[in-house]
Structure 1
Amino acid sequence: MSNRHRHDFSQLSILIVDDCRFMRMVLERMLQALGVTKIRFASDGFEAWEQLLDSEPDVILCDWEMQPEDGPSFVRRVRLDQDSPCRYVPIIMLTGYTEKMKVMKARDFGITEFLAKPVAARSLHARLVQIVDNPRPFVRTASFFGPCRRRLNLPIFDGDDRRGAHEEIDI
């Protein structure tokens, strides 16, 4: 059975944060095709923050370039603000700029996954599967808080000391 049919995304709630109405509509259609029924929208980081205070999504899709609050500022606020209602929410950063430095910067401010525009439905599906099947532990250092930036392929440990999906690792 393919991954597409193996995952039921119907219970996921997703917040799309993008200042382009057309892009929000395209992402909504893709998510609906994947079975997602709980979709909300914001046009910038400030509006998205208000949405988070009202209801916590399971996943955030966030554009990089927005005004007045851009994606990086919003992600930092979600991860670092003491009043953040959902510091551990998986965040997929969307951008048309995919040079290596930008990807590394996004990773360094706490995103979970990175997705290049124009977005392909197959790529969006793959990121959602990754989030559901392989939740990353969160790491706290003096200069970083967010999902572990390494792609760890560790054997699954099922004993008493097993880390939960939202457990933090201090480094």
Structure 2
Amino acid sequence: MGAAAAIESFAHWSSCGDTWRDRPVLVLEHAALMRRLLTSTLKTAGARTIITAGSEAEAKSIIESDMPGMVVTDWRAGQHDHREALSLVKSVRNSNNLAIRDVPIVLTSQYTTRTDIERARDFGVSEFLKKPLSTGHFLQRVEHAAIPRLFVKQTRYGGPDRRRKPREGRDPAFKRNKDVENGLVDSLTAARNACLALAYEVARDGCLQARRVSVSLNRYLGAVRDFGPKENEIVEMHRAALVQLERARDANDAVRISVVQGLEDVVKMRLSRL
């Protein structure tokens, strides 16, 4: 569903010859016993400086001032709104400071459904760990999170490249574009497949207006016969509408409805010209 706006080096501190052990490690864990366990494990693994935080606000302040080489944070028990639970991750990934934005983040959680894991991934978590933790597995994930990865900046995602296989050179093309280039699928079919993925994503949160965006895009792609710059423009408009809805999630319904209504009007006009 569109190319990345930018793909840059991930974990800038690693280019200086540092490892995650050489820089402060921030631990945000609300359970005291688990916090002591994580701290002890990290010290045993060679972490030179460990800083603990008692709240998301304190953690954000520490990240801005100390620029840690690793962040270990928990999905707070009882915090079922995933946007609130993952607000620390989101604030890091949206930072204008590259040294902060790129920091590896290991999330520990009691919530381990497929939806929970996908939400954490889509917010930009580097590694996801199920509680209760085993020491060996935890350190393995920390080491894996510290491996330098590319940072992907898209309309609706900012974070480490979610694909595990290395890219060929620094080509920013997504798999969909590669498949089209290799003749495995045509552009329109690829766009429709991406639309289905988008529909699944917005359905997870149960947002009525976001679902309308998905229905609108599906309607448009179901009517066109070719996929070129004009069609891609409509796709990007739908993506932008979803971003607006996310930013206005605390606004009243009238504001959110107006965003979707304007989009639907544009699609209706485009379809009338086919």
Query: Partner of 1:140 in structure 2?
Result: 153
Task: Check 1:63–1:70 CA distance in 2 against 1; reply closer, same or farther (3 A cut).
Answer: farther
Residue aligned with 1:86, SS: helix
Deviation at 1:62, TM superposition (A): 0.7
Secondary structure, aligned partner of 2:100: coil
Which is strand-richer, 1 or 2? 1
Going from structure 1 to structure 2, the CA distance change for 1:78 and 1:38 (only over 3 Å counts) comes to same
Match 2:125 to one of 92, 98, 111:
111
Q: 1:10 to 1:59 in 2, by over 3 A?
A: closer
CA contact (8 A) 1:53 1:85 kept: no
How much identity, in percent, do the aligned residues show? Answer: 29
The equivalent residue for 1:36 is 47
Asked whether the 8 Å contact 1:18–1:66 carries over to 2, the reply is no
User: Is the CA contact 2:20–2:69 (under 8 Å) kept in the aligned structure 1?
Assistant: no
Question: 1:94-149: CA deviations, max 9, x gaps?
Answer: 101211111111000011111111111111111122133x3221111111100111
Go from structure 1 to structure 2 and tell me whether the alpha carbon gap of 1:118 and 1:66 turns closer, same or farther (over 3 Å shift): closer
Aligned length: 153
Deviation readout 1:60-113 (Å, 9 max, x if unpaired)? 001111699954011111111446860110000110121111111100001111
Structure 1 unpaired stretches of 5+ = 1-7, 156-161, 164-168
CA 1:66–1:75: 2 relative to 1, 3 Å: farther
Q: Secondary structure at the match of 1:60?
A: strand
TM-score, with normalisation over the residues of structure 1? 0.78
Matches of 2:53 and 2:78, distance apart in 1: 12
User: Partner letter of residue 43 of structure 2?
Assistant: Q
1:30-69 to 2 correspondence within 5 Å?
30-65=41-76
- For 1:73 and 1:67, locate their aligned partners in 2 and report how far apart those are by CA, in whole Å: 15
Normalising by structure 2, what TM-score?
0.50
The one-letter code sitting in structure 2 at the alignment partner of 1:22 is L
- Provide the C-alpha distance between the structure 2 equivalents of 1:151 and 1:45, rounded to a whole number of angstroms: 29
Structure 2 unpaired stretches of 5+: 1-18, 175-274
Task: For 1:92, give the aligned amino acid.
Answer: V
Return the offset for 1:32: 1.3
Q: Which amino acid aligns with 2:109?
A: T
The aligned counterpart of 1:77 is: 91
Are residues 54 and 150 of structure 1, via their aligned partners in 2, closer, same or farther at CA, if it must alter by over 3 Å? same
Greater fraction helix: 2
Q: 1:84 to 1:152 in 2, by over 3 A?
A: closer
TM superposition shift of 1:20: 1.6
**Contact 2:92/2:101, CA 8 A, preserved across alignment:** yes
The CA RMSD measured in Å over matched residues stands at: 2.7
Residues 91, 71 of structure 1: CA spacing in aligned structure 2 closer, same or farther, 3 A cutoff? Answer: farther
Structure with bigger gyration radius: 2
Structure-2 residue corresponding to 1:93: 107
Partners of 2:86 and 2:92 in 1: CA distance: 10
